Structure 1
Amino acid sequence: MIASFVLWVIVLIDAVQREFESDNDRLVWVLIILFTGWIGAAIYYLKFMKKSSK
């Protein structure tokens, strides 16, 4: 439970700071992460953060 909260916070911070093509993309991802909790955070992590670590 604590690990999922930590992942959620890290992903939320990354979504706010990441450069997207438009500000609307950022807003959409932040809202997805906020309203879907750890599921949205996991999707964001797999889509963006995992690619950038390679």
Structure 2
Amino acid sequence: MSVGPQPESEPSWSALLPEGLRMRDSKAPGYPSLTVSASAWAWFVDASRR
């Protein structure tokens, strides 16, 4: 599931996958993407809400 287009100030692309979250810079599609495990992403979201 794609999170969708981002505002001009946030040039990124991300997708929620069974294995976690994959993201990349949408202005550099040939560059590698970063995948974060589902548990690490859940920890990050939880910690950022505190």
Q: Please give the TM-score of this superposition, normalised by the length of structure 2.
A: 0.29
* More strand by percentage: 2
Higher relative CO (Cα under 8 Å, sequence separation at least 6) belongs to: 1
Structure exhibiting the larger radius of gyration computed from Cα positions: 2
Going by fraction, where is helix more abundant, 1 or 2? 1
Q: TM-score, normalised by structure 1?
A: 0.28
